[in-house]
Amino acid sequence: MTDLSPNEAMPDPELGPAIRAALAMPHDGAFVTRVRALVRQQRERGWDEVLAGWFWQGVLAASLAVVAVAAAWRVTGGVGATPRTGEESVAVQLLDGDRPGADILLASMAGDR
């Protein structure tokens, strides 16, 4: 034992055999024989059968992806979204002239011509 852990990592000589005896099956040989017989009965599946088994999981994953993208699209307003009510674009604010410094910014953008 250490100061940090009150538990030992060594096997317990009394508890180990007691757990093994409690979990032992009375007819474990017959169980192993049945499992081996079932394994021998099953034939090996080809790649196309394996992929066919994944079909519905793929459909479900694609459907969830479409729903997530549609929800995000709806929240953000899409690609060509117009400004929300009360918001003005930078161009509108500059051309309006009510903002201080708008004329200076427009003049600097126009340059000396």
Q: Count up the domains in the chain and report the number.
A: 2
Predicted local distance difference test score (pLDDT) of residue 112: 61
Predicted confidence band of residue 69 (pLDDT cuts 50, 70, 90) = very high
pLDDT value at 95 more than 90? no
**Can you tell me which residue has the tokens 């929300």?**
84
**CB-CB contact of 103 with 97 (8 Å):** yes
- Give 19-55 pLDDT, tens digit per residue: 888 777 777 778 778 888 888 887 788 888 888 989 9
- Mark whether 57 and 18 lie in a shared domain: yes
- Mark whether 72 and 90 lie in a shared domain: no
pTM (global) more than 0.75: no
- Mark whether 111 and 91 lie in a shared domain: yes
**Can you tell me which residue has the tokens 């009965």?**
41
